[in-house]
Chain A
Amino acid sequence: MHQTTVLAGFLVAAAAVLIVMAAIARTTTQPEEPQSIVTATGYRLRRGWLWVLAAAAAAAFALSLPEFPYGKPATLTGQHYSVIATQYSFELPSVVPADTPIVFDVTSKDVNHGFGIYDPQDRLIAQVQAMPQYINHLPLRLYAKGHYVVRCLEYCGIAHAAMLGSFDVR
């Protein structure tokens, strides 16, 4: 999901929370109502609220499942490209094909790093951790041609922010 959409959704939800909670606080200026009456109505509302949340969580989980980035064995059969991270650089291919299933095999020679891929618009589109002693397979299909920047996305030492790489998609 595009990050801007995520931010917009969050801000709308946060604004809704603020409005509802402020409205509830304002009711304290109205004449007092016995707690037993408030509770009886509130508990009925709570049951509805529980079901709304449960439905939202179940829907979010179901919708997210097909989008999990891990890949099945079948999706790991594309062309494999080795990525080796080390303090503070990446060994990676200079060119990968556009609109073709590929797999980055990512590891580290020293400490934990992050392999974060930024598209030509400088937006983070994919990532995986680079961990010593392990190889993480990142299946991907890059549609847009152009120059992609790679940034380290796991704190790896004092030159972490300068740990960059790049490749072209043609």
Chain B
Amino acid sequence: MSDSTGARAVMWAYLTTGVAIFGLMALIGLALRVEQAQWVAYDPGTFYALMTLHGSGMVVALALSAMGGLWFIMNRERGMDRTIAWSAYAAIVVGVLCVILSIFPGRFAAAWTFLYPLPFTGATWPSWATGAFLFGVALVMLGWTVYCVQLLGCVLAKYGGLRGAVGWDLVFHPGRASTSSAPEPPPQAFAALVTAVDGLFAATGGMLVGVALIVHWIDPSVAIDPLWAKNLTYQFGHTFANLTIYMAIAFVYVALPRYANRKWHTSPVLAIAWWGTLLFVATAYFHHLYMDFVQPRGFQYLGQVASYLAAFPPAVVTIFGGALLIYRSKMRWTMGSMFLYAGLVGWLIGGIGALIDATVPINFSLHNTLWVPAHFHTYLLEGVTLFVLGWIFANLEARSGLVSSLLTRWIVGLGIFGGGALLLLGWYVAGAESVPRRYAVQPVPGPAIAAWASIGAMLLIAGLVFCLAEAVRLARAPKALTAS
């Protein structure tokens, strides 16, 4: 197998596995929403077990998809050992299987947050299910750690160590940067560096709390501080989920310029923006603990400041840069470019919803209402997912030399954007109506809102299925003569 073919095999393994898990989790999400709409009825134990699987599975699905694409992009910059990439993939897949086992047949239902001591106290599931879930999460973190170490090694080796990779000379010594033997990092290299560094930071927190919980599972007399565990759970969970966006933005950096027939340059401003992302993605998680008044007060202020500042690099540099890239360009609008550009819009709108919730006095009356799934579904579903779809179609279009018809794009757009908007609006409106999140049976007006949100979810899934069929059509088409 040639290097290029082998690298593509790695990317498609990550991508197709991620998309397959995504599809399964989307159907589970629909099952949760129609239960809240009271269209079907099943017991709360099943609802919360499915909710646990949906939450943990969806983040891993998006992470796997983004990891595959980013690995392929960086592998072209500097070849990486495919065995290591396959090892990381295997650890994550086995971890996912452990988590699935904990739910079917284990019925583990402590949510993806598994806030200590919920996995052990008042549990309606067997102890082995708790162990299977915790080992599953630990394996996912192990695979993620291996991936991040490899990515970090690639970036540091290619761009002249940390100084070169962060663009230090580019910002402070432009003359020295231009004469350096190491190449200037392209925009996607900054995404890889931040993913690797913040990813390892998240993995450390995840491993710490994961191992602590496994020790407690083996020996319940080992006590854990609940506030410490909560901090680490969100430090790893928030950062890991957030990094899916920053991995997938590499797809925009690489593919959108091809469609616009322009270049996305590295600049000092871009480098500084990514320094900000590096810092603020790692510190914004404190906003998850605003309602823990015993948390040191400084962390509460830091949470709001970091959450606000985390919005600057995307708003001022990446999303603004994407808009500038296509402005008055000779843009080729295809399925791929439509998804990549629409993903920037979804990221921005979801970010506004997140910033509102990250303001402490507003969080006081929105925390753990449906406003929370509203904003994170906006940037995961209409942001990261679209970046992934955009990357898949960019590759398929380049390989086949084909593009989808306008009618196909309209049908997919109506399903994914129209259905998605209906689904998301349901959460925003219900959040403003104080409907709590994670309720199998919601107070009014929750069920009525869930009913029209479910229609949105069905339209969205129909759009995704149509999209999948179109992807299969392009994938089965003969390779274009001009394809690389």
Contact = CB atoms under 8 A, between A and B. Distances in A.
Whether A associates with B in a native complex is: yes
Interface of A: 1, 3-4, 6-7, 9-11, 13-14, 17-18, 21, 24-25, 27-28, 30-33, 35, 38-39, 42, 46, 49-50, 53-54, 57, 60-61, 64, 67-70, 87, 110-112, 114, 116, 118, 122-129, 131-138, 151-162
Contact of A158 (B44, B345, B432): B44
Contact of B360 (A50, A68, A128): A68
A154 B442 contact: no
Contacts of B356: 6, 9-10
Given A10-B352, A112-B230, A38 B316 contact: no
Contacts of B349: 13-14, 17-18
Contact of A24 (B44, B113, B326): B326
A138 B293 contact: yes
Interface of B: 44-45, 48, 109, 111, 113, 115, 117-118, 121-124, 225-227, 230, 262-263, 269, 291-294, 297, 300, 304-305, 308-309, 311-312, 315-316, 320, 323-324, 326-331, 333, 341, 344-345, 348-349, 352-353, 356, 359-362, 364-369, 428-429, 431-434, 436, 438-443
Nearest to A38: B327
A158 B440 CA distance: 9
Nearest to B119: A111
Contacts of A38: 324, 327-329
Nearest to A160: B438
Contacts of A137: 293
Contacts of B436: 116, 151-153, 161
Contact of B434 (A3, A152, A157, A162): A3
The secondary-structure label for the interface of chain A is: mixed
A122 to B, nearest CB: 7
Given A25-B331, A28-B326, 14 more contacts: A1-B365, A7-B432, A13-B349, A21-B323, A38-B328, A53-B311, A57-B309, A70-B300, A112-B226, A122-B443, A123-B365, A156-B122, A160-B44, A161-B442
Contact of A70 (B44, B297, B333): B297
B359 to A, nearest CB: 5
Given A24-B323, A70-B297, A161 B362 contact: no
Contact of B327 (A24, A133, A159): A24
Contact of A157 (B118, B294, B333): B118
A18 to B, nearest CB: 7
Given A57-B308, A60-B308, A112-B230, A158 B362 contact: no
